[in-house]
Amino acid sequence: MDKNVVFAVITIFWLLFAVVGYLISFWYEERGVIRCCAIATAVCCYLAWLVTFLMQMNPMIGPRASQKIIFGMMSYWPNSFLHDEPDP
């Protein structure tokens, strides 16, 4: 799926969750508590998803090493592709 479609669907879902929770609160005597719980749940879950989604869109760059260090790792590690035979 396209990232804009996913973003829109999840945003609409949590917005509808908050609106439905707000409207259901009118049926009960503890309106304030139910409204607070429904809206806080929607906001917290949406923010947790949004942070995860945005971090995956632009991931951090991994560690950088110089060319000498990379060649050293490739030549000394036993699982590197340079080793055809075991070291003496």
- Give the SS3 label for residue 84: coil
DSSP string, 17-57: HHHHHHHHGGGSS-HHHHHHHHHHHHHHHHHHHHHHHHHHH
Claim: this prediction has a pTM higher than 0.75:
no
Q: What is the pLDDT of residues 10-62, one digit of tens each?
A: 999 999 999 999 999 999 999 999 999 999 999 999 999 999 988 887 766 66
| AA identity, residue 77 | W
Going from N- to C-terminal start, the domains of the chain cover 3-76
Q: What is the pLDDT of residues 58-87, one digit of tens each?
A: 766 666 778 888 777 777 776 656 555 665
